Chains A and B, each alone.
Chain A
């Protein structure tokens, strides 16, 4: 069966993720002697999944929709806290013991809440363009964090209490202002993270290759032309922004339920920038690149522990070297060779050979 270039590229992305999951599972179980994952690396598995989803969803805003957003961690925090509250409420009010199902519901709640936050923030923000939009999303990310810093949630029997700036509410505090959410059950699993990555890829890749996705990319390429072709700019910008926020919220819920304590300070401006670094390093608009960059850059600090004090120095140097290398013609040639190699063309035969040549020239 012959397939199109886009479809082949998507297949390779899915295959890479599944392969990585299988290898990780083998390493966790220690099936092959001598090939066993260290404890510290095992602890990084869920965060890696979370950051991959964050990077891919931010790439939808930055790369596909072409809007520089610096407040992605804000949506993550909305998802994290609403996910934690939902999970605690299910457990407290309904004695809902099934962890997988609870995690799933928490993640969906996180996604919906972050999506709603995305709509509310998108209405004023998407009127702006370029640098202004970046600054305002940055501000909104900080506003969300500060609001969460003053929010108190408590559970009394089956009842939820909310208060702002006042910890005197009945019952057990779920969310305790600046102290954050404490006593959260660690129910996040690597498998669930893997499922979330697949879901994110499914949503983002399918969206890109559909009518709506093309409209989003058309607006990025030329707003005026898109308008004169009858494309509702606000609607499609909002669509990309909200889908991106909702996915970040789901990732946030997974992240929140992976630790016993979560505070709002974890979702500071640097987290947004870190995710942006993944996107830029992986290539703006390149979904597979985001996945690889997020994985490598999350593992790197762990691997570099051997350098102790010089760890962050080496990290920065690696970042610079990778940036330089990705832009060098040497790597470009290597990529072309790999793309036309027998291994790739045998498993993923192309419909149009001409199309691939065009892609390479670019």
Chain B
């Protein structure tokens, strides 16, 4: 797997619980800590004993063959499913008993594998939905157009355009989200998730359907987002060029279990990973 031209050069260091985080995050509390996380669907262990620590500003990757349980992990972290085992700590806070809305308020935002935009609303309004809990005013201020409405709407408008400018999408603000090209829809989903002011951004196959040029741009933008907002990113992706290029810590999942963890180099040369993807080599 040496054909990947970009290599992450972050030095990884172990933290007490045997997980690894980037060296720069060693003194900061991890943004996410999953301990023995698991979920069963009628006896089927979709995810089992999932342990993961993500550093404050780490870009982490979650890879694995189809059906390995990657998206299920996302659904567990965002509380779409309630785990049957284990705990998730978000910024040191136990997320037990939270629902999706509360998990988002606690600092976790996500995008979806099959794009879930608000298609009948404009691009700007999509981002404004992300800003829903940042810019607040009540129903009555909205209906009777009290001063709070004008003030907060203006603030929201400016913030939304600001966020859209990350991907140079300000010009599309008035366009219906459903009529955007595919790549732009994926980018808009990221902007919308960012608008909720998360400390951890979960990206579910952000590069799916993008051409190599767009993927390259996306990689730069993910790094840019991390640097600008100082947040952690956990992404699921099948494009190994992207994963090996920008992910500092990589976690490989197969049949709901973690089979390997490490840096891009370690993962690429790990025989267990190669076996999971390509099958076992025939003994000579």
> Chain A interface (Cβ within 8 Å of chain B)?
5, 202-203, 206-207, 210-215, 217-218, 220-222, 224-233, 239, 352, 354-355, 358-359, 361-362
Tell me which of B104, B105, B129, B133 contacts A214 (CB under 8 A): B129
Question: CA of A354 to CA of B174 in the docked complex: distance in angstroms?
Answer: 8
A265–B252 Cα distance when bound, in Å, is 66
Least distance between B169 CB and chain A CB atoms (Å): 14
The smallest C-beta distance from B32 to any residue of chain A, in angstroms, reads 16
Contact (Cβ within 8 A) B132 A230 = yes
**Chain A CB within 10 Å, residue with most, of B99, B101, B112, B156:** B101
Contact at A214–B116, with CB atoms within 8 Å? no
- Tell me whether B117 and A228 are in contact (CB under 8 A): no
Per-residue CB contact flags for chain B residues 178-198 toward chain A (1 = under 8 Å, else 0) read: 010000000000001101100
A-B CB contact pairs (8 Å), 26 listed: A207-B139, A207-B143, A210-B139, A210-B149, A210-B153, A211-B152, A213-B142, A214-B121, A217-B121, A221-B120, A222-B116, A222-B118, A224-B80, A226-B118, A227-B104, A228-B78, A228-B80, A228-B109, A229-B195, A230-B105, A230-B133, A231-B132, A232-B101, A352-B174, A354-B175, A362-B176
3 shortest interchain CB distances as A-B pairs: A210-B142, A230-B104, A225-B116
Of the candidates B101, B119, B153, B174, the one whose C-beta lies within 8 Å of that of A355 is B174
Whether B11 is near chain A, meaning CB under 8 Å from some CB there, is no
Once the chains bind, are B176 and A215 in contact (CB under 8 Å)? no
B residues near A218, Cβ cutoff 8 Å: 118, 121, 129
A211 x B117 contact (CB < 8 A): no
Q: Given A354-B174, A362-B179, 8 other A-B contacts at CB below 8 A?
A: A215-B132, A221-B119, A222-B117, A222-B118, A224-B80, A229-B104, A230-B133, A239-B139
Residues of A within 8 A of B145 (CB): 206
Nearest Cβ on chain A to B206's Cβ, whole angstroms = 15
Chain B minimum-CB-distance residue to A239: B139
Q: Which residues of B contact A230 (CB under 8 A)?
A: 101, 104-105, 132-133, 196
Instruction: Report A-chain residues with C-beta under 8 Å of the C-beta of B174.
Output: 5, 352, 354-355, 358
- From known contacts A229-B104, A230-B196, infer whether A221 and B132 are also in contact, taking CB-CB under 8 Å: no
**Which residues from chain B contact A221 at a C-beta distance below 8 Å?**
117-121
Interface of A (DSSP majority class): helix
Question: A221's closest neighbor in chain B, by CB?
Answer: B118
Q: A334–B129 Cα gap in the complex (Å)?
A: 34
Contact A225 B118 (CB under 8 A): yes
Please name all residues of chain B whose beta carbon is closer than 8 Å to the beta carbon of A217 when the two chains form the complex: 118, 120-121, 125
Size bracket of the B interface: 35 or more
A215 near B179 (CB under 8 angstroms)?
no
By beta carbon, the residue of chain A nearest B198 is: A230
Per the bound structure, the CA–CA distance linking A168 and B103 in Å amounts to: 57
A-B pairs under 8 A by CB, number: 107
Contacts of B261 in A (CB 8 A): none
**B128-146 interface (Cβ within 8 A of A):** 128-130, 132-133, 135-139, 141-145
Beta-carbon contacts under 8 Å, B146-178 to A: 149, 152-153, 156, 174-176
Residue B241 at the chain A interface, CB threshold 8 Å: no
Q: Does B70 contact A (CB under 8 A)?
A: no
Interface check B100, CB cutoff 8 A: yes
Q: Say yes or no for B56: interface residue by CB 8 A criterion.
A: no
**Distance (Å) between the CB of A209 and the closest chain B CB?**
8
Most chain A CB within 10 A, of B129, B137, B153, is at: B129
* In the complex, B110 has a CB within 8 A of chain A: yes
Q: Which chain A positions have C-beta within 8 A of B135?
A: 211
Say yes or no: A227 contacts B121, CB within 8 Å.
no
Question: If the complex has contacts A225-B117, A227-B100, A229-B104, are A211 and B176 also in contact, measured as CB distance less than 8 A?
Answer: no
A214 to B121 CA separation, bound complex (whole angstroms): 8
Nearest-neighbour CB distance to chain B for A17, whole angstroms, equals 18
Q: Which residue of A lies closest to B135 (CB)?
A: A211
Contact present for B118 and A212 (CB under 8 Å): no
Set of chain B residues within 8 Å of A358, measured between Cβ atoms: 174-176, 179
Which residues of B have CB within 8 Å of A225?
112, 116-118
Taking the nearest CB of chain B, how far is it from the CB of A204, in angstroms? 9
Of B132, B144, B196, the most chain A CB neighbours within 10 A belong to B132
> Which residues of B have CB within 8 Å of A233?
101
Is A211 a contact of B136 with CB atoms below 8 Å?
Answer: yes
Q: Once the chains are docked, how many angstroms separate the CA of A228 from the CA of B120?
A: 18
CB contacts (< 8 Å) of B132 on chain A: these are 211, 214-215, 229-231
- Nearest CB of chain A from residue B100's CB, rounded to whole Å: 4
Q: Given contacts A214-B121, A222-B117, A361-B179, is CB(A229)–CB(B143) below 8 Å?
A: no
- Return chain A residues, CB-CB under 8 Å to B121: 214, 217-218, 221
Chain B nearest Cβ from A108, distance in angstroms: 15
Beyond A206-B142, A222-B116, A228-B109, whether A211 also contacts B137 by CB under 8 A is yes
Least CB distance from B7 to A in Å reads 33
Given the known inter-chain contacts A218-B129, A230-B101, A358-B174, please indicate yes or no for A212 contacting B139, CB distance below 8 A. yes
**Structural contact, A214 and B128, CB atoms closer than 8 A:** yes
